[in-house]
Chains A and B, each alone.
Chain A
Amino acid sequence: MKLRFDDDVEAFRAELLAWLAINRPSAAEMAAEPSVSTGHAPAWARRWTRTMFDAGWLVPGWPPERGGRNAGPIESLVYIEELAKARVPRTTNVQGLGIVAPSIIDYGTDAQIRHYAMPILRGEATACLGMSEPNAGSDLAALTTRAVLEGDQWVINGQKVWTSGANYADFCFLFCRTDPHAPKHQGISIIIVPMDTPGVTVRPLPEIIHPDQPDLNEVFLTDVTVPAHHLVGELNNGWAMANGSLAHERAMVWVNAVMGLEESLATLLVEAPALLDRLTPIERTLAVDQIVQVAIDTQAARCLGYRGFAKFARGAGAPEQALMKLYASEARQRVALVAAEIQGADAVVAGGVANDGHHAVDEPQGTWLEQYFHSFANTISAGASEIQRNIIAERILGLPRK
């Protein structure tokens, strides 16, 4: 155990910081042309992703031809921390870079990698992830969007919902039922569907915060046909691939979540003196204890994250990592709530904070109450907190399913 990173890791950090200082997009540039959906990549974002790709800074852990530099896991961790500190996103299309492109690279054909994964890495295309349906949320394997092979075409009918970025994305990584007779986990396949294919209709679903810039969508598919070679990986193996692709960034997603949490706390600590000054001594005592508790939560999230990561970096099993999504998202919710409650009546004022360039749920934006509402994005999506507790209990702790 030690508090510092090795010298070579620090050298890596220094190189990254020097490169960022010269090449990063400015805050003004990003705010001038904000991304309005996770499927939307404004010109600055396309240029920036491309610049990172060319310099081997897009996904440092990957080889140079994929936009990386074969960096190790610790370097990759430092990389994510520094980008978050600098407040520059790698991409505005988080699903595309984080899940879709890596999955195509892992399971797709050479042609699929060329036509769909690489354009994402070069900032030329964006993708959305079509998994959830009206009747298949937490129980994702209940999905019913049907794909039938007719000759050399897939014919697809069904509906997706909560599809982030579908209103701007170029293609969808679509989970379909290809064998309705198999057990529900075994009849699912993944098919690439360009969003401009006839029969695809997108209806944005404005959210409770910033309804003017919807990111969520319903996607209706009516007799949509795509070539047979758009099937990714093996037929009826979609469930296994889904677990693989979601696992992709799991080792690292906690870093942004924790950095967002730390930023929220830091802001609260700056605002605290003025907020506390208005309170009576007893109110103040109650409020301070709440702030202290979320400060402990924040440090604990960092420590727990590093703990799991240290094992992961050694290639060992790291059960702590299964705790991070649950813990960091709920801690974030608590910070925003504590802050809003200390604001008291003033918390109700709407923020009208301008989009600073990109929609990153991990970055605190808006008023405390807005952040509080926004924080549910992370406690609901990608396995709600209740589902996380089920997973921890059954897979980590080995409790019987029934």
Chain B
Amino acid sequence: MDFEFTTDQLELRANARAVLEAACPATVVRAVYEGTGDGTALWGQLVQLDWPGLAIPEEHGGMGLGMVELAIVVEELGRAVAPTPLLATLTQFVPLLREAGSTRLLQEIAAGTVTGTLALAEDGVWHRPRMHTTARRDGRDWVLNGVKSHVLDGTTADWLAVVAQGNDGVGAFVVPAAAVVATPIEVMDPTLPIATVLLNDLTVGGEDVLLEPGDPAAAQAIERALQTSVTAMACSTVASCRRLFEITLDYAKQREQFGRPIGSFQALKHRLADLYLAVERAASLAWFAALTIAEDDDRRAIAVAMAKAAAGECQRLVVRDALQLHGGIGFTWEHDLHFLLKRAKVGDGLLGTAACHRAHLAEFLGLAAPA
């Protein structure tokens, strides 16, 4: 076991951080929040730097990097509160294509000409024994019907990977944005925009059928793809928390009351020590999950659920204390703190909250009530 990043990985992190500090300062985030700008220019820069091809195999025009590298970049997105289609495309759309063994669209994604997302959740639930969205066979094609919720970038992604229930099991399909009705939901964090997606007698065939319902490997492939999505969201959330912690720590050193820095009061020292521990705890579980995926280790299901649960537990503490320790200033719209606060909260809500993943763990650990 070697739990330190390689020099290449550390370099990747430093580069990614430098790029985002320059291309995605808080002013860009604020513009998205205030409706005076969007992430288009940022996306253009990331495409120029070949970021969309990061985790796509070289033979399809990508860089062929693994899950640990993807995690590193995703962390930087969370740290910068970056409004970009990269997260949904690389950690929600591509993993399902790849688990299905499909090479569909990989070339275009690597080139940055198309983006994608995952339409899986229904009524805010990502793990469901049976989907309400149906896939009905029609000759050689499949017809999809249903409503998907919480689809990240649902109104802007070019392609959607849809998971639907057939008579003999679950299946996965790719559909173009034009074929669905996507309704944006007004959300607290506009850097992670979501939509409700309606599938109305949508016919899918040929290479757009990723995994046929009834294919015995389908459920597991979907589960494995979802593990990548969940781990990435955990990484993004923990990174937002780490940034919140750093900002709060700096503030505690600099803000004076009663003639001394507030960070010299032991009540705050102990809280900051606990925040630091919560961040390191969640980060090491998130990296461990990424590593089990990168090496396809059998502990991956448990590691992923633990990572997302710990990320949720971390944000719960960090969001509370970051806001509380800033006093009134953190409560204002003008201060940039709330971008991170909201990104961390939304990161817990998407792809299963901490409690939801603890429930999965109860099953993995054999603790669920006998049926």
Q: Is chain B's binding surface mostly helix, strand, loop or mixed?
A: helix
- Number of contacting residues on A, CB 8 A? 46
- Give 1 or 0 for each of A287-326: 1 = CB within 8 Å of chain B CB: 0110111011001100110110111001000001001001
A386 contact set on B, CB distance < 8 A: 270
A393 touches B273 (CB 8 A): yes
Residue of B nearest to A272 (CB): B367
How many Å from the CB of A78 to the closest CB on chain B?
A: 10
Task: Check: B244 CB closer than 8 A to any chain A CB.
Answer: no
Which of A1-9, A30-38, A144-152 is the interface stretch? A1-9
CA distance A388 to B269 in the complex (A): 11
A289 contact set on B, CB distance < 8 A: 355, 358, 362
- Give 1 or 0 for each of B201-238: 1 = CB within 8 Å of chain A CB: 00000000000000000000000000000000000000
Between B261, B281, B366, B368, the greatest number of chain A beta carbons within 10 A of the residue's beta carbon is seen for B281
B362 touches A288 (CB 8 A): yes
A300 contact set on B, CB distance < 8 A: 281-282, 284-285, 306, 310
B366 touches A292 (CB 8 A): no
B261 contact set on A, CB distance < 8 A: 399-400
B288 touches A400 (CB 8 A): no
Task: Check: A390 CB closer than 8 A to any chain B CB.
Answer: yes
Task: Check: A16 CB closer than 8 A to any chain B CB.
Answer: no
Task: Check: B68 CB closer than 8 A to any chain A CB.
Answer: yes
A326 contact set on B, CB distance < 8 A: 273, 277
Q: A2-B2, A303-B285 are in contact. Are A390 and B266 (CB under 8 A)?
A: yes
Which of B140-148, B186-194, B291-299 is the interface stretch? B291-299
CB contacts under 8 Å to A, within B61-105, are 68
- Give 1 or 0 for each of B241-253: 1 = CB within 8 Å of chain A CB: 0000000010011
Contact size range, B: 35 or more
How many Å from the CB of A402 to the closest CB on chain B?
A: 6
Between B261, B291, B295, B365, the greatest number of chain A beta carbons within 10 A of the residue's beta carbon is seen for B365
A307 touches B270 (CB 8 A): no
Residue of A nearest to B261 (CB): A400
Interface residues in chain B, defined as those with a beta carbon under 8 Å from any beta carbon in chain A:
1-6, 9, 68, 249, 252-253, 260-261, 263-264, 266, 268-270, 272-274, 276-277, 280-282, 284-285, 287-288, 291-292, 294-295, 297, 302-303, 306, 309-310, 313, 355, 358, 361-362, 365-369
CB contacts under 8 Å to B, within A374-400, are 386, 388-390, 392-394, 396-400
State which of B276, B280, B294 has its C-beta within 8 Å of the C-beta of A307.
B280
CA distance A272 to B270 in the complex (A): 34
B1 contact set on A, CB distance < 8 A: 2-5, 306
> How many A-B residue contacts, CB cutoff 8 Å?
142
State which of A276, A288, A323, A399 has its C-beta within 8 Å of the C-beta of B277.
A323
Task: Check: A183 CB closer than 8 A to any chain B CB.
Answer: no
CA distance A388 to B273 in the complex (A): 9
How many Å from the CB of B114 to the closest CB on chain A?
A: 31
A320 contact set on B, CB distance < 8 A: 280, 284
Q: Please name 28 pairs of A and B residues whose Cβ atoms are closer than 8 Å in the assembled complex, sorted by A.
A: A1-B3, A1-B6, A1-B287, A1-B294, A5-B2, A269-B365, A269-B366, A273-B366, A284-B369, A296-B313, A296-B361, A299-B306, A300-B282, A307-B3, A307-B4, A309-B3, A310-B2, A310-B3, A320-B280, A327-B277, A386-B270, A388-B273, A393-B270, A399-B261, A399-B263, A399-B269, A400-B253, A401-B264
B361 touches A292 (CB 8 A): yes
Residue of B nearest to A314 (CB): B4
B358 touches A293 (CB 8 A): yes
Listed from nearest, the 6 A-B pairs whose CB atoms lie closest are A393-B269, A310-B4, A303-B284, A306-B3, A392-B273, A389-B273
Between B1, B313, B355, the greatest number of chain A beta carbons within 10 A of the residue's beta carbon is seen for B1
CA distance A292 to B365 in the complex (A): 8
B270 contact set on A, CB distance < 8 A: 386, 389-390, 393
CA distance A310 to B273 in the complex (A): 22
Known A292-B367, A386-B270; further 5 A-B contacts with Cβ < 8 A: A292-B309, A303-B3, A389-B269, A392-B273, A402-B264
State which of A303, A327, A400 has its C-beta within 8 Å of the C-beta of B264.
A400
